Amino acid sequence: MLLFWLALIVAGTGIVSTEAAEPAPADLGTRAQGIDWPDFLGPRRDSRSPETGLAAVAADVAGGKPLRVVWQCDLGESYCAPSVSRGRLFHFDRHGDVHRLTCRNSETGAELWTYELPASFTDMLGYNNGPRATPVVDGERVYVMSPEGLLACVQVVDGKEIWKVDTLQQFGVVKNFFGVGSTPIVWGDLLIANIGGSPPGSPPNVYAAQGKVEGNGSGVVAFDKLTGKVRWQATDELASYASPVIAQLQPPAPPGGDVERNGDRPPGGAGGYRERCFVLARGGLVVLDPATGKVDFQFPWRASKLESVNASSPVIVDDQVFISEAYGPGAALLRVKPDGEHEVVWQDQPRSRERSLELHWNTAVHDAGHLYGSSGQHGGNAELRCIDLATGKVAWQEPRLSRSSLLLVDGHFVCLSEDGSLRLLRATPERYDLAAEITPRGEDGQPLLEYPAWAAPVLSHGLLYVRGANRLVCLELIP
């Protein structure tokens, strides 16, 4: 048998891995231009798309031409966004006493198959009882995590179960306010998840424990992606709702120059930098080696109040990592050194009433030295902000949009507000610059998306997928 090193871009991470090639499922798509969106916030978990051709569309929509509704379908209970791979769209919802993973043709909406897991979860604060974690597609497999902590791997072509793990039972996870909501990530032959288990005899939920929950070394767990067997586990941290991000750290670009972006270099880049896994866990940031689970450092970052959560994923730019939450501490920017140590570049001050960016469940998007995101814990006080990455200084802020999610494509942001409003914004640090309102409407003129539209927009091969409380809508954003 011929053995060789293959530089493979792993679906969902953009990280270079050494892994033997495997046959890919047949591609059902017909739209040649554009990319797949097989993971939470896209292939690199940064909510950035390389697709082009949006400028003319923005002008047409601003002139009164609506986007074409390609297809739409009803959904069950869920907060999670869909994923798209090789002409297939996957969405994960609750229907009565089952969580159902549905595979559809991404261009027509035709249902191809379904896979079900038992559903018994009840949200402790009375919110939605459906899934929170986005399906993750990796070649021939798709992975789902239910709010009860059932982690399953099924075949892309027919939904046949390959393996399943009850993570709550196996690791003794104490029930948190909103169940399990962090999306696992594929890296090489591993599936890495924010689990956060506790020792036997621990209280049944976070309220019974009065917030004092101990860890048992399973804060972050790596599973063999083919079998579900545990390969390593690390840290006593508990689980959050933020999803892990893996990136290759690299020195910043020299003045007037440029460096390759995260994921464009082979392992072992310049200056001793390596791939690292970044997890904003319940108590703060954990930075570790995805290959072994060895922890480089932990950085505490959580509000002191019991009813607070970390739900916004870390943002990695060169050798820096940005974290944010909405319940107290606010935001911080750290520089990660080649030796695994770190230094604080800036952080919001605890005694100050001013915060640079307080992200609730949305993740900031980086562009040209600035971060954009929806700042605020509640819809009424949330405002879209642009901040300078290097200093945390607010460049502009726009209220009245409620809490929103962003997707960067071709110099524009697709901005989906929680009330179902959809906008195109020009990406500029100079001001809030509205290009067009693109809220999808039915034949009766009423908006197709209803509150809460909390799932981030998805863009694949020119088609934009957005979901509200009970409906998924596919729009042709780029013809």
Q: Report DSSP letters for 106-132, one per residue.
A: TTT--EEEEEEEE-----TTS---S--
Give the range among 68-72, 98-102, 304-308, 381-385 with minimum mean pLDDT. 304-308
How many CB atoms within 10 Å of residue 479? 12
User: In 280-397, where does DSSP find H-type helix?
Assistant: none
Is 286 a residue whose pLDDT tops 80? yes
Kind plus residue range of the DSSP H or E element containing 56: helix 54-62
Compute the average pLDDT of residues 169-186.
94
Integer Cα distance of 279 and 289 in angstroms: 11
Give the range among 13-17, 75-79, 305-309, 357-361 with minimum mean pLDDT. 13-17
Q: Are 261 and 209 in contact (CB under 8 A)?
A: no
Integer Cα distance of 160 and 165 in angstroms: 15
Query: What CATH topology corresponds to 7-476?
Result: Methylamine Dehydrogenase; Chain H (2.130.10)
Q: Which residues, in sequence order, are CB contacts of 21 under 8 Å at separation 6+?
A: 6, 8
Tell me the backbone φ, ψ of residue 274, rounded to 5 degrees.
-135, 170
* pLDDT confidence bin for 21, thresholds 50/70/90: low
Give the range among 46-55, 255-264, 361-370 with minimum mean pLDDT. 255-264
Compute the average pLDDT of residues 326-344.
95
Between 135 and 254, residue with greater pLDDT: 135
Compute the average pLDDT of residues 93-118.
98
- Give the Cα-Cα-Cα angle 362, 363, 367 (nearest 5 degrees): 135
Integer Cα distance of 25 and 179 in angstroms: 33
Q: Are 144 and 152 in contact (CB under 8 A)?
A: yes
SS3 271: helix
DSSP annotation of 459: E
Q: What is the pLDDT of residue 124?
A: 82
Is 58 a residue whose pLDDT tops 90? no
Q: What is the pLDDT of residue 248?
A: 93
Q: Are 453 and 418 in contact (CB under 8 A)?
A: yes
Is 121 a residue whose pLDDT tops 80? yes
Give the range among 69-78, 223-232, 263-272, 292-301 with minimum mean pLDDT. 263-272
Token digits of residue 59: 């002008």
Compute the average pLDDT of residues 215-238.
98
Is 259 a residue whose pLDDT tops 60? no
Integer Cα distance of 106 and 90 in angstroms: 8
Cα–Cα separations (whole angstroms), residue 277 to 285, 297, 341, 355: 10, 11, 14, 26
Between 340 and 397, residue with greater pLDDT: 397
Integer Cα distance of 309 and 160 in angstroms: 35
DSSP annotation of 445: S
Q: What is the pLDDT of residue 20?
A: 55
Using only the alpha carbons of the chain, give its radius of gyration: 21
Q: What's the whole-model pTM score?
A: 0.92
- Looking at the DSSP bridge assignments, the partners of residue 346 are 333
What strands, in cross-sheet order, belong to the sheet with 394-398?
A: 365-367, 370-375, 383-388, 394-398
Beta strands in 147-274 (DSSP E): 150-155, 161-166, 185-187, 190-194, 220-224, 230-234, 245-248
SS3 5: coil
Q: Pairing relation of β-strands 404-409 and 48-49?
A: parallel
**Average pLDDT, whole number, for the chain?**
91
Integer Cα distance of 351 and 45 in angstroms: 33
How many CB atoms within 10 Å of residue 6? 10
Is 282 a residue whose pLDDT tops 50? yes
DSSP annotation of 55: H
So where are the chain's domains?
A: 7-476
Region of residue 380 (phi > 0: left; psi between -120 and 50: alpha; otherwise: beta): alpha
Integer Cα distance of 418 and 401 in angstroms: 8
Q: Are 283 and 325 in contact (CB under 8 A)?
A: no
* pLDDT confidence bin for 4, thresholds 50/70/90: very low
Between 259 and 116, residue with greater pLDDT: 116
Token digits of residue 94: 């609750």
Integer Cα distance of 338 and 418 in angstroms: 40
Is 22 a residue whose pLDDT tops 90? no
Integer Cα distance of 378 and 402 in angstroms: 8
Is 9 a residue whose pLDDT tops 50? no
Compute the average pLDDT of residues 390-410.
97
User: In 98-211, where does DSSP find H-type helix?
Assistant: 167-171
Q: What is the pLDDT of residue 6?
A: 37
